[in-house]
Amino acid sequence: MNKAYFETLPKDYFGNLYQKVSSSLTKGENVCLSVIPGFGEKTIFNFLSFNFRSDKLFDEIYVYDPELENENIIDFTKKLIFANNLKNKLLIIRFFEQIEDKPKTLEKLDSLRRKNPKYLTYLAISNQEALLYPSSHQALTTVFFSDIIYFLPFDTIQTASMINSLINYYGWNINLSVFDEIYHLSGGIPRIIKYLTKELYESHIPLSNKDKLILIPQISFQLKLLTIILITHNKKQAYLLGLTDGNYRLKSSLLKYYIKNFRSEMITRLYPQLSDTETKILSFFSENEGKIVSLDNLAALMKMSDDNFSLWAIYKVISRLKPKIKNNFNLKNVKGRGYVLTKVSL
């Protein structure tokens, strides 16, 4: 039987991730992995689970997926504890960002393992919020996770390693000379690396044709997700996430191109008379409908795409937009925080 992709990866594929996580877990320390969707969460989960089992680090390994389980994490954990207290168990919690009231839930999970902590250890896999807001991923009265590990985008060496692993597994044989170009286009983001490699092999789309590259569904999905993250987080957070360099310039040239040309189909259809800049800024708001977007974030985003607008210029664009969209949307100022777009109630 053919091996799964994650089974073919060496233990150092993600650098020292496996060594670091397994070392903490086997000492009875809980760990949280913070991974932006599209940065290899599924591969990381399968890779770690497979190697934990292969190395027999735990007597039993369980997985809790809030998207699949009918019961809450507390009841799920109680069953594990009462089933057999003497076995060394690891509980992997996927999509931890979906768990409601995380501090209160972690407090209860900590209580459940307090009597015999060495028999139950937790590994949670969450999105980028675990890195940006670590207090939301700790219990009310204790430090639940000994370590919150953020999974950064790949560097050039890791990108080349990933491309080679794709070539070896899928047979997507491409010219080695394009490796650097794939890195600069992707910014080291695994999902973009994968589908650039795939399309280059299957469709022979020139990597210089950004207009076609951003239409590849999986790449377009990832670029839109990252754009929303950039809109709703400040430039320092974007740097922490590894999306920008020390000068707050986007590492991915494809993401930069996407943001520069980003226009919502709905906004373009509703308001064909708007200027290019008005359409772009309103599109940013529409992708975050009901959420506060600050002027600073908008200015930083415009600068990342080489559209260098001042705060005052953006404020003037918003002022012009308000009367033009009033039949469909309210664009309301939230004092000291930014603006929020909401639909007009019928």
Domain ranges of the chain: 5-150, 156-244, 262-343
User: Rounded to the nearest 5°, which phi and psi values hold at 36?
Assistant: -65, 135
| Distance in angstroms (rounded) separating the CA atoms of residues 323 and 320 | 7
Radius of gyration of the chain (CA): 23
3-state helix, strand, coil in the chain (%, to 5): 50, 10, 35
Q: Residue 330 forms beta bridges with which residues? A: 342
Q: Is 262-343 in the same CATH topology as 5-150? A: no
Give residue-wise pLDDT tens across range 291-320: 888 888 888 888 887 766 778 888 898 999
| Distance in angstroms (rounded) separating the CA atoms of residues 315 and 36 | 31
Mean pLDDT in the chain? 91
Q: What is the pLDDT of residue 25?
A: 95
Give residue-wise pLDDT tens across range 69-123: 989 999 999 888 776 667 889 999 999 999 999 999 999 999 988 877 778 999 9
- In terms of Cβ atoms closer than 10 Å to its own Cβ (0-12, 13-18, 19+), residue 243 is buried
Q: What is the pLDDT of residue 346?
A: 62
| Distance in angstroms (rounded) separating the CA atoms of residues 232 and 238 | 10
Class of domain 262-343 as given by CATH: mainly alpha
User: Rounded to the nearest 5°, which phi and psi values hold at 143?
Assistant: -85, 100
**Over residues 154-172, mean pLDDT:** 95
What stretch of H or E contains 122?
strand 120-126
**Over residues 193-211, mean pLDDT:** 94
| pLDDT bracket for residue 1 (50, 70, 90) | low
**Over residues 288-292, mean pLDDT:** 87
pLDDT at 261 over 90: no
pTM here is 0.89
Under CATH, what is the fold of the domain 5-150?
Rossmann fold (3.40.50)
Q: What is the pLDDT of residue 252?
A: 96
**Over residues 211-231, mean pLDDT:** 94
Q: Which two tokens stand for residue 105?
A: 């839930």
Q: What is the pLDDT of residue 114?
A: 82
Tell how many helices (H) and how many strands (E) occur in the chain.
16, 8
Q: What is the pLDDT of residue 35?
A: 96
Query: Do β-strands 329-334 and 338-343 pair in parallel, antiparallel, or remain unpaired?
Result: antiparallel
Q: What is the pLDDT of residue 102?
A: 94
Q: Which two tokens stand for residue 214?
A: 């951003």
Q: What is the pLDDT of residue 116?
A: 74
